Amino acid sequence: MKYFFLLTLPFFFFFCNTQKVKPKINASINVAELPSQESWNSTITFTDSGRIQAVMKVGHLRMFSKQQETLIDGYQHVDFYNPSEIKTTTLTSLRGKVNDASKDLYAFENVVAKNDSGTQLESEMLMWRNKDQKIVTDKFVTITTPTEKIQGYGFESDQHLQNYIIHKPVYVTTSDSLR
């Protein structure tokens, strides 16, 4: 055993040198385009003065600090709460983004918002405006309530879908026609 150690010792010195190995760098990657943070299956809570306003669950989140923007892929599920912190509305979509400066939330693709009284809003794009906590869009929307169905372009509502306006309605029907 002693001789084995003496014979192998020169090989260690020969093959182990102090030269550092540099990793290969892919020059095609633009570091400025990479997210500053990234996460999967995340939950984000929006609060104001310690009160919960909304809780958002997302599939894949990429935060870009320089652009002050967070992109959401996979799914987006947002629960909105009233001042008593009771959940009143749920919004779902396949993609979204958050303007990190204004805290405005955008939802894209298969957007559905539903409140606790059965009002449902469908569109391809909505924005939740943080400054006045309104849901708005200039796109086509469908609102279905227990008593009516309205379709049109342009929409504005409180975040609880209780007081809403469709700016250019194109179709209206009442509960008798829905049955």
Residue 163 falls within a domain, yes or no? yes
Query: CB-based burial of residue 58 (10 Å sphere; 0-12 exposed, 13-18 middle, 19+ buried)?
Result: buried
For residue 124, is it within any domain? Answer: yes
Contacts of residue 78, defined as CB under 8 A and 6 or more positions apart, other chains included, come to 54, 55, 56, 57, 90, 91, 92, 105, 107, 128
Q: Is residue 16 very low, low, confident or very high in pLDDT (cuts 50, 70, 90)?
A: low
Give me 64's structure tokens: 């870009």
Q: Does some domain include residue 137?
A: yes
Structure tokens at 178: 């829905």
> Residue 27 falls within a domain, yes or no?
no
Q: Which domain does 99 fall in, by range?
A: 36-178
Q: What backbone torsions phi and psi does residue 8 show, to the nearest 5 degrees?
A: -85, -20
Alpha-carbon distance of 39 to 59, in angstroms, equals 8
What is the pLDDT confidence band of residue 1, given thresholds at 50, 70 and 90?
Answer: low
Residue 120 lies in a domain: yes
Q: Residue 108 in contact with residue 95, Cβ under 8 Å? A: yes
pTM score of the predicted model? 0.77
pLDDT digits (tens, 9 = 90+) for 71-121: 999 889 999 999 999 999 999 999 999 999 998 999 999 999 999 999 999
Beta-carbon contacts of 133 under 8 Å, excluding residues fewer than 6 positions away, are 53, 158, 159
The residue to which tokens 């001042």 are assigned: 83
In a domain, residue 30? The reply is no
- Number of domains within the chain: 1
Whether residue 44 is contained in a domain is answered as: yes
The CATH number assigned to the domain holding 94 equals 2.60.450.10
Task: Categorize the per-residue pLDDT at 5 as very low, low, confident or very high, splitting at 50, 70 and 90.
Answer: low
In a domain, residue 18? The reply is: no
Residue 15: the pLDDT is: 57
